[in-house]
Amino acid sequence: MENQEEKKQLIIGILKDKSILKQKVFDNTLSAFCMVKEILKSLSKDVNSNLGNIDPRIKLEYTDRSSFDGQIKIAGDILLFSMHSNIFQFDREHPAWKTAYIQKNKYNAYSGIINIYNFLADSFKYSRLDDLGYLIARIFINHENQYFVEGKRQMGMLFTNYGNEEISRQSLQIIIETAIQYSLEFDLLVPPYDTVKIATVGQVEAKIQLSRIITGKRLGFQFNSDDVLVDNSKET
């Protein structure tokens, strides 16, 4: 009976500590994601008003896809902002564990995630379901509203102050604008000849019907069966 009581108290302890903590992380991440949507809507209106009577195809277009997804179309690109509904802890090899902030309190390593993907607008327009998207950044937010951004190039170099800065509308504005700038400068490259030199009849027929030739910037990312991102870009 004592052992059973100890297990019950352990369950209660976990619910009080870790489960409440995860709910706080979720609430913070959702609040930040709502701000992301507001910024995208506001930015679209502001940029479009400054573009004036220019070609409408290059204007920004915001779409609220779901509670956890929003996208903005920028000329030939789409940036998809997607919040994961679950809470994660960094794996033990992640550099975040080396920060004094997490070493001080392991619960600081629990984070919500907002992913930013870059797709070609035509991939959605023509329902090219095999086209590839590119994960350009992901925002981590914890129970204290502390955040950092993981990404490549510009996105990975701007925010390294984890534990000393709370997420804010201003910081999200900078992240979004940096992501847009990155996607606009990130051009579609001609795929290597050897990857497209052979095509099946089915592929050609599908291309004729729905323009379904697999396309993606730098060949982009694809998901394997375990939902792990596999880098096909060979980019350093």
- Mean pLDDT calculated for residue range 17-35: 93
Q: For 27-53, how does the pLDDT look when each residue is reduced to its tens digit (9 = 90+)?
A: 999 999 999 999 999 999 999 888 888
- Give the percent of the chain with pLDDT over 70: 75
**What is residue 214's predicted lDDT score, i.e. its pLDDT?**
54
Higher pLDDT, 57 or 33: 33
* Helix spans in the chain (H): 2-14, 20-51, 100-104, 121-125, 154-157, 169-185, 193-196, 201-210
Asked whether residue 13 carries a pLDDT value surpassing 80, the answer given is: no
d(CA 226, CA 32) in angstroms, rounded, equals 28
Distance from C-alpha of 84 to C-alpha of 227, rounded to nearest angstrom: 13
Question: Residue 220's pLDDT is what?
Answer: 38
Phi, psi (rounded to 5 degrees) for 193: -55, -45
- Indicate the residue type of 178: T
Q: Smallest Cα–Cα separation from 64: which of 42, 37, 45, 83? A: 37
Average of per-residue pLDDT across 99-119:
92
Instruction: Express each pLDDT in 190-214 by its tens digit.
Output: 667 776 566 666 666 666 665 544 5
The average confidence (pLDDT) of the chain is: 80
Position 156 pLDDT exceeds 60: no
Q: What's residue 96's pLDDT?
A: 85
The one-letter amino acid code at 67 reads S
What is the domain partition of the chain in residue ranges? 2-189
